[in-house]
Amino acid sequence: MASIKDVAAEAGVSVATVSRVLNDHPSVSEDARTRVLAAVEALGYRPNAVARSLRTDQTRTLGLVISDVMNPYFTELARSVEEAARALGYSVIIGNADERPDLQDHHVRTLLDRRIDGLLVSPTDGASPLMLDAARGGTPMVFVDRWIPGVDVPVVRADGQAAVRDLVAHLYGLGHRRLAIIAGPAATTTGSERVEAFRAALAEYGLPLPDAHIGQGDFQAESGRRVTEGFLDLPEPPEAVFAADNLMALGALDAIRARGLRVPDDIALAAFDDIPWFVHTDPPITAIAQPTGELGRAAVRALVDRIEGRPPQSVTLPARLVVRRSCGESAPPEQPAASEPSPATNRSQS
């Protein structure tokens, strides 16, 4: 592959001049510029990003470590992150942690070794020593979706508190009183927050949340199935199940079907994270939708701000309830319910 030296030789100038042309430095004669450009064209020359990075100490690359690529929520997040980064001239390298702390560490380490300019993380688990080092160690970093408490890193996330309250109101309105939740890992912020929001909302309605109605899942479909089976084995099974992510909702649906029960007639089901497929399940699933695209963009913005020396901002965007049919047929809606996804442009910053 042609190097800058070959171009210099071909154009009859020094490598310094070639470099200047390539980085359009002002002081190059028009004549030299055209000769260099011609040589570049003739040789099909492309600058070696590796060499350039070594010299300039920047790779124009962002790392994104997410908990599970197969989860449509994260896929969409990854996509919007890449899009936003590309618009700013950055590439993105995605690391899939598969909800495994060891894999997460592997990817963080690999990305750091590659000297990425900044790191976007949705931590799978509590803080690993490596992650703490990275956070302190100068690598620009931003948490997205999930975060690690006590670490001084900006966070870009959605707040589901209000939406969870709306959901509980919705369930209550439909007559459901025994509500249960399939929680995510307590070590993740999203895992514990959603339970807390649910508990708080139930309290507002004077409803109990017995321990038997809190199932411990791990954000994967299989755990949703397992937990739901436990719920159904209860002497008095819950009337409604709220899954803390979309995959566990899927597992729950499996378990319910396997018993020959029907949603919502026999049991209601709702999920955190809305995804395109929820429209097509039987029945369509009521869910809490995060403004995923906006989250990705905000995260990139914050990270690039840090990288380029501007003060980064934590951002919290509201999630919202999308009512479908999995909790029961809403009686003739008294007020215009938020049935159709109106884009959530609302945004709060902290």
Partner DNA sequence: CACGTCGATGTAATCGATTCCACGGCGTGG
Partner DNA sequence: CCACGCCGTGGAATCGATTACATCGACGTG
List contacts with DNA (CB under 7 A). 1, 3-5, 12-20, 22-23, 26-29, 31-32, 47-48, 51-52, 54-57
Binding segment (CB under 8 A) for a copy of itself, from list 44-52, 118-126, 195-203, 336-344: 44-52
Is 46 a binder of a copy of itself (CB under 8 A)? Answer: yes
Residue 24 sits at φ, ψ, to 5 deg, of: 5, 70
Output the smallest distance, CB 61 to DNA, in A. Answer: 15
Distance (Å, whole) CA 191 – CA 194: 6
248: Cβ contacts below 8 Å, ≥ 6 apart: 182, 184, 217, 219, 220, 221, 223, 224, 227, 271
Q: Is residue 78 part of the contact set for a copy of itself (CB under 8 A)? A: yes
What does the alpha-carbon distance between residue 84 and residue 59 come to, in Å, rounded to a whole number?
A: 17
Complex with a copy of itself: residue 178 or 324, whichever CB lies closer: 324
Q: Which residue among 276, 332, 333, 336 contacts a copy of itself (CB under 8 A)? A: 276
Q: What are phi and psi of 126, to 5 degrees?
A: -60, 180
Question: How far apart, in Å, are the Cα atoms of 160 and each of 69, 127, 164, 346?
Answer: 22, 23, 6, 14
According to the binding rule CB under 8 A, does residue 3 interact with a copy of itself? Answer: no
Within 217-256, which residues bind a copy of itself (CB under 8 A)?
A: 221, 250, 253-254
Phi, psi at 128, each rounded to 5°: -85, 155
Q: Does 94 interact with a copy of itself (rule: CB under 8 A)? A: yes
Site string for a copy of itself, 148-167 (x = CB under 8 A): --------------------
Specify whether the CB–CB gap between 28 and 20 falls below 8 A.
yes
- One of 28, 62, 76, 317 touching a copy of itself (CB under 8 A): 76
The DSSP element (H or E) to which 65 belongs, if any, is: strand 61-66
Give the shortest CB-24-to-DNA separation in angstroms: 11
314 contacts a copy of itself (rule: CB under 8 A): no
In 3D, which of 134, 82, 120, 125 has the Cα closest to residue 101? 125
Closer to DNA by Cβ: residue 4 or 315: 4
Note whether 128 binds a copy of itself by CB under 8 A: no
Cβ neighbours, 10 Å, residue 39: 21
Q: Which stretch binds a copy of itself (CB under 8 A): 150-158, 170-178, 276-284, 337-345?
A: 276-284
Which of 28, 65 has the CB closer to DNA?
28
Q: Using CB under 8 A, which of 138, 309, 332, 343 touches a copy of itself? A: 138
Partner from a copy of itself, DNA, none binding residue 262, C-beta < 5-8 Å depending on class: none
d(CA 189, CA 305) in angstroms, rounded, equals 24
Q: Is 5 one of the binding residues for a copy of itself (CB under 8 A)?
A: no
Please, are residues 141 and 118 in contact by the beta-carbon 8 Å criterion? yes
If the CB atoms of residues 37 and 207 are measured against a copy of itself, the closer one turns out to be: 37
The closest of 113, 138, 139, 134 to 123, measured between CA atoms, is: 134
Name the amino acid, one letter, at 26: P
Name the burial class of residue 168, with classes exposed (0-12), middle (13-18) and buried (19+) by CB atoms within 10 angstroms of its CB. buried
Which of the listed partners (a copy of itself, DNA, none) does 28 bind, with a CB threshold of 5 to 8 Å by partner kind?
A: DNA
- Cβ 350 to a copy of itself, closest distance in Å? 30
CA-to-CA distance for 67 and 124, rounded, in angstroms?
5
Considering the complex, what minimum distance in angstroms separates the CB of residue 139 from a copy of itself?
Answer: 9
Distance CA 199, CA 172 (A): 14
Task: List residues binding a copy of itself (CB under 8 A).
Answer: 1, 44, 46-51, 53-54, 59, 69-70, 72, 75-76, 78-79, 82, 86, 91, 93-94, 96, 106, 109-110, 112-115, 133, 137-138, 221, 250, 253-254, 276-277, 279-283
